[in-house]
Chain A
């Protein structure tokens, strides 16, 4: 098809046009997400009803739990395999931190609506009611995306059924967490921590790039009744990341997530993850 050829051929357009288009779709101004009183009331009412129904269902089926959280062993590795390419595998080494979970093999997928954001997300697409399944900002307004603040905030949902196997785990691969504090927001267990990564100085021909340490902020909302793990993280600061996390309206979609849906039972949640 010519249309296909055009899509492929467009790949090689000049950098200048590509970068200009990319920059033009980055966030513009900070904004509060608007919510009308009627919509908030309706959402809360629906949330309350669904919450009662879901809690009852989940407890009938069993509860989800954080089995363990710990620094990874120095020689700890995780290997990923793919059924489409059985001869290929990928081994992750030098893991920084490990979260493991137990629970039923299925739960409801969730979606979330931000009640507050420091500025608009990039690329992320809400549904008709304003809910997202993934939310990411790749740059702050007025900040050169290529040289700073590369990911001020990101919200992603994970599910215990993915990890509820003997070899399953949710990982921090490159960023080392400091002290992890545990709170409870309603029925959710919340883990908050600042992770860091140190970069050694690099000698170049004409200068020395000094060593430095970058910090990444995480707020993890884990539901023992519903099995979701909503991770809000970013490079902004803890206050911003926690504000985003606190005001997320998390709702079940009704779609069931099963352990068998996942080919691999590990993932990593580092800021800027690919």
Chain B
């Protein structure tokens, strides 16, 4: 049920008033879940999700995404991370994003000096290449934690792993990432 993505994108390109409602119907829950996992605050999450619809409306036409789910998810996640950043809650606030940051910090603290010189695009490309070196399960678990910000407990349940196994996998993957970024001269 729900319109296919191509038709929803068509609605945006036609500047149809049905575009946003149809997007909300199909992907509202998905984006809201991402926002909630990151922000753990209903009002902030709702605002960021509403901004996602505004972002979609503003970016289409021009963009014509073939898959709406990752397109909208990126918008939502980006807005939520910026919301966290703006409020200087990255280290203090609740939510899975803060925990995820702490875990990454423990791995990458020594690289703090290098961060100012990093171009985000370069880093993004390096991470994408790094992901291609992982086996499928490693990659899924890593993204479940650090892209979707799912709690370790949920990840364990989703893949039928113990929480210890998930933590171990994440630790190994973070170490691999650290080494990879070092080899790439980014850390």
Residues on A facing B (Cβ under 8 Å): 1-15, 17-22, 24-25, 82, 90, 122-125, 134, 136, 138, 145-151, 154, 173-174, 197, 199, 202, 204, 209, 214, 235, 263, 270-274
With CB as the reference atom, state the residue of chain B lying closest to A145: B69
- The answer to whether the Cβ of B19 comes within 8 Å of any Cβ in the partner chain is no
Q: Which residue of A lies closest to B76 (CB)?
A: A274
Contact of B140 among A21, A122, A134, A149 (CB under 8 A): A21
Contact, CB under 8 Å: A273 / B28: yes
User: Are the CB atoms of A9 and B53 closer together than 8 Å?
Assistant: no
What's the count of A-B pairs with C-beta under 8 Å?
180
Say yes or no: B32 contacts A12, CB within 8 Å. no
Residues on B with beta carbons closer than 8 Å to the beta carbon of A1: 90, 101, 105, 112, 115
List residues of chain B with CB within 8 A of the CB of A24. Answer: 140, 144, 158-159
B residues in contact (CB < 8 Å) with A: 1-5, 7, 10, 21, 24-33, 36-37, 43, 46-47, 49-50, 52-53, 67-70, 73-74, 77-78, 81, 85, 90, 97, 100-101, 104-105, 108, 111-112, 114-115, 118, 120-121, 123-124, 127-128, 131, 136, 139-140, 143-144, 146-148, 150-151, 153-155, 158-159, 177, 187
Add 9 more A-B contacts to A24-B159, A150-B26 (CB < 8 A): A6-B146, A7-B146, A11-B74, A13-B143, A18-B74, A18-B147, A125-B154, A146-B5, A272-B24
Q: Closest chain A residue to B90 by CB distance?
A: A4
What are 30 of the A-B contact pairs (CB < 8 Å)?
A2-B111, A2-B187, A3-B105, A6-B146, A6-B177, A10-B143, A10-B146, A12-B121, A13-B127, A21-B147, A22-B69, A22-B148, A25-B140, A25-B148, A90-B50, A136-B33, A138-B33, A145-B69, A146-B67, A146-B68, A146-B69, A150-B1, A150-B2, A202-B7, A214-B1, A272-B28, A273-B32, A274-B27, A274-B46, A274-B50
In the complex, are the beta carbons of A5 and B31 less than 8 A apart?
A: no
Q: Are A2 and B115 in contact (CB under 8 A)?
A: yes
Q: Does B143 lie within 8 Å of A7, measured CB to CB?
A: no
* B31, B53, B146 pick with most chain A CB within 10 angstroms: B146
Residue of B whose beta carbon sits closest to that of A236? B1
Q: Chain A residues near B49: list those with CB within 8 A.
A: 274
Contacts of A145 in B (CB 8 A): 69
Residue of A4, A21, A274 near B85 (CB, 8 A) is A4
When A and B form their complex, which 5 residue pairs have the shortest distance between CB atoms, in order from nearest?
A274-B28, A3-B104, A21-B143, A9-B124, A9-B123
Residues of A within 8 A of B143 (CB): 10, 13, 17-18, 21
Q: Which listed residue, B53, B104, B151, touches A7 by the CB 8 Å rule?
A: B104
